Every structure is written in C-alpha cells, then in structure tokens.
Amino acid sequence: MAQILVVDDEVGIRELLSEILSDEGHDVLLAEDADAARKLREQLRPDLVLLDIWMPDTDGITLLKEWAASGQLSMPVVMMSGHGTIETAVEATRVGALDYLEKPIALQRLLATVKRALRQPEASMPQGLSLTTLGRAPALAELKKRLAQLAQTAAPLMLRGEHGMRPELFARLLCAPGAPFVVGDGSLAEASSELLARATGGILFIPDLSRLGRVEQKGLEFLLARADRHKARVVTFSPLESKSLIERHEFDAELVLRLAELVVRLPPLRSFAEDVPDFAALMLAQLVEARSCPPRRLNVASLNALRHHPWPGNLAELESVVRNLAHSALEEEVRLDDVERVLSAQATPAAAPELALDRPYREAREAFERIYFENLLVRERGSMSRVAERSGLERTHLYRKLKALGLPVGRREEA
C-alpha cells in the first residue's frame, strides 16, 4: 500500500481519484490547493503526488519548482490538466515531474501511470546538491548560461577557481540528462580503460589537478588520448593557473595545454552572495529529508547573516556551517544567534589563505586586500562600523573598496 497525495481544486476530481486509488489499496491524502499541499508535504513524504496544473492560488508548475528548489521533490510527481499543451508537459518534466495525465483521465491510463511511478520512485529522488534551480545573482546566472553553451561542444574543458567551490556541481551542468558522470581521482594511477568505458557518452571529471602526482598525471594523459573514441569528454578543475601547474607540480606543458583547450573561471561564493540563502535552505532541507537531523528551518535574520558572511571557504564552508546548524540548534527555527555562534566557532581555527608572491604587484596587492577585508568581516561579524574602525577607513571609502574587491557589504547598523 502506497501513500498518494492528490492535489486538485475540483472537489469532484479529488473524490473520484480518492475512491479509485483507495479501491486499489492505497492510502489517499487530499489537498484542495497549493497551500494545503505545502502543509502536508512539510509533515510527511508521500510515495506519489498527483498534482493539478491549473489551481486558483498557486499553479502546479510553480509548486513543483518550489519543491525542487527546497529539496522537497523527493517523490515522483505526476501532473494533471484538462487544458494542457505539449509545452506545459515538457516544462513539467524538465522541472522534475515524472509524467503527465490529461483530463478527463482514463481509468486504465491512471492505474498504469500510478503503478509505473510507484515502481521507480528513485527517478524523482534528489541526487544531492544541484545548481539546476539556483542562479538568482547575475554572476551565477551568467556562468550557468555559459556552461550550457559549452555543453554543446566535446573539447576538454578546465574549470578554475578557489578551493571549496565544489566544482563537481558546475561540471555536472555540462552533462546531458541521463548521460554518465564519472569522477576519476585515485583510479587515474591505473589509467584503466574501464574508467573511460563507464564515461562513454558522458563526462570524465577530475576534481583537483593540483593533487595529482606524476603517476596520476601520466594516467590522465593516457585517458585523454583515448577519450574521443569513447565519446567521453574530459573536464577538470584546478585551483592554480597553468603556469603554476607546470612549475610547481611538474605537469607536462603539452598536457596542460590540451586540458585547458577551453577554460571557465568559477566566481567565488562571495560573488553570488544573493544565492547564499537559497543554497543554505536547500542544503538544510536535504539534511532534513535524509533524516540526518530533526526538522529545521532558517529564519529571515539567520539567512541574512549567512548572506553577508564573506565565505573564504566558499561552498564547502557554507555546507559545513549548515550541517553544524542542523545538528546543534536547539529549536526547529534556526535563529541569528545560532548562526553567529557557529560562524564564530568556525572562524578561529580556519587556516590562513595562501598569498601567492609570484604575481604582478597590482594582483598581489588586490589579493592581500581581499584576504585582509574577508578576515575583518568575519571577525567583526559583518558590522560595517567596526570594520571601518578597525581598518581606519571612512565608511564611504570602505563600501567602495569592498565593492571593487567583489566582497559583500555587511550590516549597516551604527556602532
């Protein structure tokens, strides 16, 4: 017996579907609109949702997107509509719906669809953090468009960026739906053709070139030479420029040149701070969905505090903070004092960022200023008045400096 949630604003359809599905032995829950469906979804996770598209308060596609963005789309969803179009069906499946039923719904079609959906619930299960529904800030939205364009080519591509950026999330945007995505790290030492076979028609991703020794580099060279015949695309990430890979990590210059045929720089998390609340809410929702922690939700003040943190450790640091909050908060609502407690505890033991001294003077000065103000913002918990006092800068000059460095402006309260 499965638990099925039916969401439809027409009482006759709700009652009819409830009667049919109950006769089949299922436990049926009914919601007359999106608001009622939201409340039921917060309390439990049904095995299947039959969701009407056209409803008076919030349409079904919008509700589906909400569930996807909040990490709650962890069950198969079948959309229903009496006046749908092909475009609507395509949009629904793109967002995450498993199937589409046209009203009036034929009995056999309904039962067959429900049976198929319940047999493969994993089709709608979330596969960890994804960038699909994120991208409010211009920096992230533009990057996603660029990666979508580059996904049409097969040339090797190198992602570059700071440590902690979770580059695999961005690399997955280059992978076609249903195509394999294979992470190659320790297995590079064997240079196994089996690795390429598993990546056939998809992506072979190397998560950090700077960690590869000479043996792994030779293995990568072997695989790169044979990737075309397997129709596998090699995508790599490096926190270092090509010159540093060659000089400091003894990479073959020709190999680096081939790996960097196309290069995309990942902006640091502070460059798309507007998306931090969405990232944090999604990370927390996924922990709750996986039953790794009790029910938790971030209030507005806590989300704002996370948004204004400079995140020198990028997405990896944000994920660590959210996990800490999920397990250590004493109430269901995660408050501002919870966030301040966790950020304060994590700031002290953080390792000092590496400052490369082989850069041109202007680049080295900018890198130092970024590190300097990042640390001040963390230490003063985003208080602009205290950062201005500590740095000896006038407030207007400080705002301009932070904006030029791509750092978020902290709290503007008076000291």
**What are the pLDDT digits (tens) for 201-223?**
999 999 999 988 888 899 999 99
pLDDT mean across residues, the chain: 87
**Average pLDDT in the 407-412 region?**
64
Predicted local distance difference test score (pLDDT) of residue 157: 97
Predicted local distance difference test score (pLDDT) of residue 113: 93
Predicted local distance difference test score (pLDDT) of residue 84: 63
Percent of the chain past pLDDT 70, that is, above it, reads 91
Rounded CA separation 82/230 (Å)? 45
Predicted local distance difference test score (pLDDT) of residue 124: 44
Residue-wise pLDDT tens digits, 68-118: 777 778 889 999 987 766 677 777 877 788 888 988 899 999 999 999 999
Contact 87, 95 (CB under 8 A): no
Predicted local distance difference test score (pLDDT) of residue 91: 77
51 CA to centre of own chain: 25
179 CA to centre of own chain: 19
Which range, of 14-23, 115-124, 172-181, 361-370, averages the lowest pLDDT?
115-124
pLDDT: which is higher, 350 or 357: 357
Contact 71, 47 (CB under 8 A): no
Closest to 1 measured CA to CA, from 30, 15, 17, 21: 21
Predicted local distance difference test score (pLDDT) of residue 362: 78
pTM (two decimals): 0.65
Closest to 171 measured CA to CA, from 208, 218, 123: 208
- 347, pLDDT greater than 70: no
Predicted local distance difference test score (pLDDT) of residue 57: 83
Strand locations in 192-329, DSSP E? 203-206, 233-238, 262-265, 297-298
Residue-wise pLDDT tens digits, 254-271: 999 999 999 999 999 999
Residue 358's pLDDT band, with cuts at 50, 70 and 90, is low
Length of the chain: 415
Residue-wise pLDDT tens digits, 272-331: 999 999 999 989 988 887 778 888 999 999 999 999 999 989 999 999 999 999 999 999
Residue 350's pLDDT band, with cuts at 50, 70 and 90, is very low
pLDDT: which is higher, 358 or 35: 35
Residue-wise pLDDT tens digits, 159-205: 999 999 999 999 999 998 889 999 986 667 776 678 888 899 999 99
